[in-house]
């Protein structure tokens, strides 16, 4: 492939960043990657005993797998992705607050239940955000540019995971948790705004066209009723 064509192909892929639908999902993508990186970079070192660490992260893997299947199916059944996103946020936010205020490192190594609560809550939230992101991208770009959307999604996810690993080296534990709380709050705000103001996260239909359609339906009903009234008067 000629260099000019390669360059044009890369630029056309990155041009999806100017799409408002994708742009408003960037905080969610970044949070998804940052939270995954936090689990392996910051939570894993809290467990000192190696055998306990392996067992607890085995639980993490099992819960994560089950959550992918369960919440993906739940989202399809109820058709309300924003509600499922809220469940993921509620799974993470209390844990971050506890880590910031109560469960400050070093943690009591005899309190296995603390580590189990940590990995179970975090694994549920990570699975929800990842599953719904993939399904929303599939809904938004089903007809065109699906490969570009997924490629840019992975750029933001992987980049945020890398940032979480760097934070572990140069940032304190409380700063990492605080960054997650701020980004999670921004994620929830942008998802609500996008769903109710720009485009439905469930159907992929723009809100403007849906509002116009809803306005046209009452007008059509009024016209039909007036036509029936006129015809009955003539009769």
pLDDT of residue 182: 97
Cα 148-23-157 angle, rounded to 5 deg: 65
Q: How many residues are recorded in the chain? A: 235
CA 67/CA 231 separation, integer angstroms = 59
Is residue 128 within 8 A of residue 89, CB to CB? The reply is no
Residue 213 in this model has a pLDDT that exceeds 60: no
Rg (CA), the chain: 23
pLDDT of residue 220: 46
pLDDT tier at 67, thresholds 50, 70, 90: very high
Q: Tokens at residue 25, please?
A: 């999902």
Residue 217 in this model has a pLDDT that exceeds 50: no
pLDDT of residue 17: 87
pLDDT tier at 169, thresholds 50, 70, 90: confident
How confident is the model over 6-30, as a mean pLDDT?
Answer: 82
pLDDT of residue 191: 96
CA 211/CA 160 separation, integer angstroms = 36
Residue 150 in this model has a pLDDT that exceeds 80: yes
How confident is the model over 173-201, as a mean pLDDT?
Answer: 95
Is residue 207 within 8 A of residue 197, CB to CB? The reply is yes
pLDDT of residue 168: 87
The continuous run of DSSP H or E covering 64 comes out as helix 50-78
CB 183: neighbour CB atoms within 10 A? 18
How confident is the model over 112-140, as a mean pLDDT?
Answer: 94
What is each CA distance from 191 to 16, 84, 106, 183, in whole angstroms?
18, 12, 35, 12
pLDDT tier at 223, thresholds 50, 70, 90: low
Is residue 91 within 8 A of residue 132, CB to CB? The reply is no
Q: What is the pTM of this model?
A: 0.84
Residue 32 in this model has a pLDDT that exceeds 90: yes
Fold adopted by 17-204: Growth Hormone; Chain: A; (1.20.1250)
């Amino acid at each position: 492939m000629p260099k000019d064509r390669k360059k044009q192909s890369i630029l056309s892929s990155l041009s999806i960043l100017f799409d408002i639908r994708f742009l408003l999902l960037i905080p969610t993508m970044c949070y998804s990657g940052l939270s995954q990186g936090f689990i392996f970079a910051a939570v894993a070192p809290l467990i000192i005993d190696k055998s306990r660490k392996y067992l607890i992260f085995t639980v993490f893997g099992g819960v994560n797998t089950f959550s992918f299947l369960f919440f993906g199916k739940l989202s399809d059944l109820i058709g309300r992705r924003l509600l499922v996103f809220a469940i993921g946020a509620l799974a993470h936010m209390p844990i971050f607050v506890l880590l910031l205020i109560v469960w400050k490192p070093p943690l009591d190594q005899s309190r296995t239940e603390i580590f189990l609560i940590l990995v179970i809550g975090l694994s549920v939230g990570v699975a929800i955000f990842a599953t719904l992101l993939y399904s929303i991208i599939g809904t938004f770009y089903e007809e065109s540019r699906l490969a570009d959307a997924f490629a840019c999604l992975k750029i933001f996810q992987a980049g945020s995971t890398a940032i979480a690993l760097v934070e572990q080296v140069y940032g304190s534990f409380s700063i990492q948790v605080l960054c997650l709380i701020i980004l999670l709050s921004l994620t929830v705000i942008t998802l609500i705004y996008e769903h109710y103001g720009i485009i439905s996260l469930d159907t992929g239909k723009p809100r403007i066209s849906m509002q116009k359609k809803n306005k046209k339906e009452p007008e059509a009903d009024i016209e039909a009723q007036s036509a029936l009234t006129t015809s009955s008067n003539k009769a």
